[in-house]
Copies of this chain bind each other. A is one copy, B any other.
Amino acid sequence: MLTLYSFGPGANSLKPTLALYEKGMEFNHRLLNPAKFEHHEDWFKAINPRGQVPALEDEGRIITESTVICEYLEDAHPTAVKLRPESHFDVAQMRVWTKWVDEYFCWCVSTIGWHRHVSKMVKDLSDEEFEKVVARIPVPEQQVKWRRAREGFPQDMLDEEMRKIAVSVKRLDDHLRDNEWLAGGVYSLADICNFAIANGMQHGFSELVNTDDTPGLVRWIEQINDRPAAKAMFAAVPREF
């Protein structure tokens, strides 16, 4: 059986989790606790040397990178539920959206999330404890991010990320006002991968994501939350806040 290593149904971990629920597949779900830095422990770095979730194990082989895992599930484990559009052109549009969330949308939201949440988590550590935590992080750019979270992100960086979030939210809403789904008129990995980042913004970024300013985006977030697979996922694995 497949084993998914994840932080639960939020951010990049949500992508393959929701895909597996949509596909109706059974899988072992090994939840890691980010507050305990479990993803930087040696046992997990033996699975993913980058120390990042999600990771999928399939017959002893490991697939990493959330979007790659989603495409892999469609390739290797086809089910009655298809999470890619039928036409090749629409699949390309789906990939433009999954690429965009990975290269643009997720980063600006992530930095603000770190500023708000991870900063608090690491400020309580002693210098010695913090250095121990950082030393176990295998990716240098991630070490820099942890240090910034502790020292405080520069205000001009936070301002720039908020500008990008506003651009992102508008881009999604512009499309979703006129279209039920992001690509090819059907629910696809484009929706799942963007929902992974956008879900919750109606609370955490309510000044930007609300029924007055972004009615298309809010409708789409609610519509995905109402799907049986999403309900089953959130019921089985409550989102950590």
Separation of A96 and B48 alpha carbons in the complex (Å): 13
Closest-by-CB residue of B relative to A87 is B76
Within 8 A of B (CB), among A59-105: 61, 63-65, 67-69, 71-72, 75-76, 88-89, 91-92, 95-96, 99, 102-103
With an 8 A cutoff between CB atoms, is A159 at the interface?
A: no
Decide if B88 touches A75 in the complex (CB within 8 Å). Answer: yes
With an 8 A cutoff between CB atoms, is A58 at the interface?
A: yes
Interface residues of A, Cβ cutoff 8 Å to B: 58, 61, 63-65, 67-69, 71-72, 75-76, 88-89, 91-92, 95-96, 99, 102-103, 140, 167
**20 A-B interface contacts by CB (under 8 A):** A58-B89, A63-B89, A64-B96, A65-B96, A65-B99, A67-B95, A68-B92, A69-B92, A71-B91, A71-B95, A72-B88, A72-B89, A72-B91, A72-B92, A75-B88, A76-B88, A76-B89, A99-B102, A102-B103, A140-B167
